[in-house]
Each structure stands twice: as structure tokens, then as C-alpha cells.
Structure 1
Amino acid sequence: MSRRAPVFIITGGQGQCKTTFLHQVLGLIVGLNVRVQGIIAPGHVRDGRRSGFTLVDLATGEHEVLCSVDPDPRCEIHGRFYFRPEGLAFGRRALAPPDPRETDLMVIDEVGRFELQGGVWAEQLDCLFAHPHPPMILTVRRRLLDTVVERWNIRNAVVVDVGVASVMATADAVMEAVWEWREAQTYSAARTPPIPGECIGAPTPFVNTAAGAARSAPVILRRCYGPEE
């Protein structure tokens, strides 16, 4: 299941409102009893330039300051940002590997050069992709997209470019993946040991919505990364 659950990657250039797009998508699905785990990181601007980020735990609604451009000797330095130990601990707790029976969707906003260098959420991403996981949504800058896909060997990516994508169509695609995930979990929980000598048919395969299927959302750029490519 970990290889087949879709990973939606919301991508765009720097400052192209990837987090805003994600927030709008989540706003359309949270009322549908979707059990979401993960983080969203709204940014702060000072004098026309990004000055820091706050984390929101999507499972609890709690929030914590993650980083700032203001120097602090207690903090980890990544680029020009000082990452607060409290913010890092908060985010790492929120990104703990989910119980597949209790979580429908994992969200990480965002995956970038700090993670590619082994910092911030890199360890959590390693754990998430090493185990069965529900559908996921990541935000990634466009110029880092291919590197992120390769680094975590994401084989079932649905790439959503904020420059051309529809929020409504993206939310529909995410909900479709969530329902398929729930059905798969129900099937897995209902399985019983086979009777000796009885021939058991193969389970219904997970529907691959990312493999070039047009469905009804042509505004979503769909790209499947796999060995055949």
C-alpha cells in the first residue's frame, strides 16, 4: 500500500501561493469527515520579504512558531532562518508515522532544500515513505520537484501545478484517493485466514489515479514517476 497510495505534490514557484492553494483544498475536504494528520506552515512577511513561518498541527489545530529571521542562539540555522527547538519538536510530533486505521490523509507543507540536505523534516519523510501510509499531500517548489521525487522514490505522484490547477478538481481527486484508501483498510481489516485447501482470489487492486488517467479533472497535471519512465 505504501507504494500505491497517491502522493499529491502541490508545486509552483517561490511566492506562488502553494500554501494558500493547499489551505483552500483542505477547506473543501475537512467537513467531509476526513481524518488529517500533518502540518501546514503559513508564512510571515516583513518589509516585503519572508520573515518566518508558523506551524499548524492539522490533527489538533494547535500552532507553534517554527522559525524566524531574528537571530537566536538556541536555534538551528538553515539558510537565513533560525529554527526554534520548540517548533521543530512540535512539527516532528505532528509528522509521526500515522496509524493507517486512524488517518486518511497526511500533509507536509513544505518539502524543500533543507529536507534535501537532511534537515528539518528529512527524518520524518524517511520514516513516512518507508512504511505503509495513507494518501499524502506535499508542497514543493517547482525547481525542486524532480529532486524531491527522486530523493524519496515517490512512484505514484500526482503533480498539481498551482499555475493551472483547479482547487475544486484537486479536492475531488484527493477525496477519491481517500475513499479508495478507506476501502482498502476496510478490506484488510475484514480479511480472514483462508481455509486449508481453499483457493482465494486476488484482491481488487488499488486504482492508480495518477497513471495518466484523465478522469474529470483535466486541469490537474498528472505525472506518474516509475521504473518505466
Structure 2
Amino acid sequence: MSDQTPVFIITGEQGQCKTTFLHLVLSLTVGANVRIRGVLAPGHVRDGRRSGFTLINLATGEHEELCSIDPDPRCEVHGRYYFRPEGLAFGRRALVPPDPRETDLMVIDEVGRFELQGAVWADQIDRLVTLPHPPMVWTVRRRLLDTAIQNWEIRNPVVVDVRTASVMATASDVMDAIWEWREAQTRSGLPVPPLPGGRNAFEPPVLAGAAAGASADTPTILRRRYSPEG
């Protein structure tokens, strides 16, 4: 099934809001009984420059600081970032290959030059792409796009360029892929819980943050507590 299961790759340059685009796409699927695993990595800015990243476990809503530009002798150094051992362990647990019977969508934010050098999430990605997996969504910087596709031999990439793509259309395409994944599981005899609505009648749910009083401009992707500022 994995040879035919798409990997959606949200791409753009640094600062072109790849994570924000992903965040919005997930906001439109989380209310549709979609079982999501993986990580989201919102960045932090200090004095006009990227200063670090927080990691969000999409299955649990838990979060952990991943890395920063502040020197720390306990940390792994990649580029100008110091990766905290707790953050790396947290992310690697979140990216353990999922049970296909219990996952509809796998998310990796982001796949970058450190992974292409064999670091950070490289081992987890290696395992994910060689095992049966549900549809995946990655974020990848544009200049690394072709290299990432070739490196992991992605046979069915769906490239989503944040400069021109529609969040709504992308969410609809992701939901179509999830429907196909679930139908394939049903044909193979695996039990899967139903998705609401019909196969060709995707209507995006109300953004999860709206029910909690969050601004419509900063929707939460989780039913609990995460927002870009929180």
C-alpha cells in the first residue's frame, strides 16, 4: 500500500510559513475523526532571527523544547542550533512507525538538511518509508525538495507550494488520501472507525480553536492547548 500512498510535501523557502500552512491544513482535518501522529515544530524568533524550535506531539498534544541558538554543553550541535537531548528523545518517540490500524495521517515538520545528513529524524524517516504507512505530510525547504524525494525514494510525492497552493484544496486532497487509505484497510480486513460524511462530501470542520475562544487567525490544531503563541 505504501508505494501508492501519497507523501504530501509542503514546500517553500525559509520564512514562507510552511509550518503555518501545515497548521491550517491540520486544523481542517482534526475535527473529522482523523487519527494524526507525528510532530509539528513551530519556530521562535529573537531580534529578527530564528532562535529555536518547540516540538509538538500531534497524537498527545504534549510539547517539548527541541533546540535553540543558546550554547549548552549537554546538547547535540547541528548547524547553529543546540538540540536538547530531551527534545530529540521526545521527537523520536513521536515518530516511531505507527500501527497502520490506528493511524490515518503521519506528519513530519520538518525534513531538512540535518535529516539529509543522517541526523535528527533521519533514522525515523528511514523506517517510516520502508514500512506500510498511512498518507504522510512533510514540510521541506524548496531548495532541498528534489534531494529529499530522491534520498527517500518517494514514489508518490504530492508537492504543495505555499506560494500558490490553497489550504482548503490541500486539506481536501489529504482527506481524499485518508479515505483511500481507510478503504484499502477495509478491503484487507482491518477494522477502522468511520469517518463522518461521505467520500465526496468533504466539509471542513469548525477550527478547533474557535470552540475555545481562540482567534480565527490562529486556530489550534489540537483539541486541547496548543496555539502558535502558547
TM-score category of the 2 structures, normalised to the smaller one:
0.7 to 0.9
Tell me the distance in 2 between the aligned counterparts of 1:189 and 1:4: 18
- Please tell me the residue identity of whatever aligns with 1:113: R
Q: Look up the match of 1:105.
A: 105
Q: Look up the match of 1:220.
A: none
Tell me the distance in 2 between the aligned counterparts of 1:188 and 1:76: 43
Q: Look up the match of 1:136.
A: 136
**How many residues are treated as equivalent by the alignment?**
191
TM-score (norm: length of structure 2): 0.82
Tell me the distance in 2 between the aligned counterparts of 1:94 and 1:179: 23
TM-score (norm: length of structure 1): 0.83
For the aligned residue pairs, the C-alpha RMSD in angstroms reads: 1.0
Q: How far is 1:2 from its partner?
A: 1.3
- Unaligned regions of 5+ residues in structure 1, if any? 191-229
For the residue of structure 2 that corresponds to 1:97, the secondary structure is: coil
Q: How far is 1:120 from its partner?
A: 0.2
Greater Cα radius of gyration, structure 1 or 2? 1
For the residue of structure 1 that corresponds to 2:53, the secondary structure is: strand
Q: Look up the match of 2:40.
A: 40
Q: Look up the match of 1:126.
A: 126
Q: How far is 1:4 from its partner?
A: 0.9
Q: How far is 1:189 from its partner?
A: 1.4
Tell me the distance in 2 between the aligned counterparts of 1:34 and 1:49: 35
Tell me the distance in 1 between the aligned counterparts of 2:176 and 2:7: 13
- Please tell me the residue identity of whatever aligns with 1:104: D
Q: Look up the match of 1:188.
A: 188
Q: Look up the match of 2:24.
A: 24
Question: How does 1:1-229 map onto structure 2 within 5 Å?
Answer: 1-189=1-189
List structure 1 segments (4+ residues) > 3 angstroms apart after TM superposition: none
- Alignment deviations for residues 162-200 of structure 1 (CA, whole Å, 9 cap, x no partner): 00000000000000000110111111116xxxxxxxxxx
Tell me the distance in 1 between the aligned counterparts of 2:64 and 2:183: 34
Q: Look up the match of 1:224.
A: none
Percent of matched pairs sharing the same residue: 77
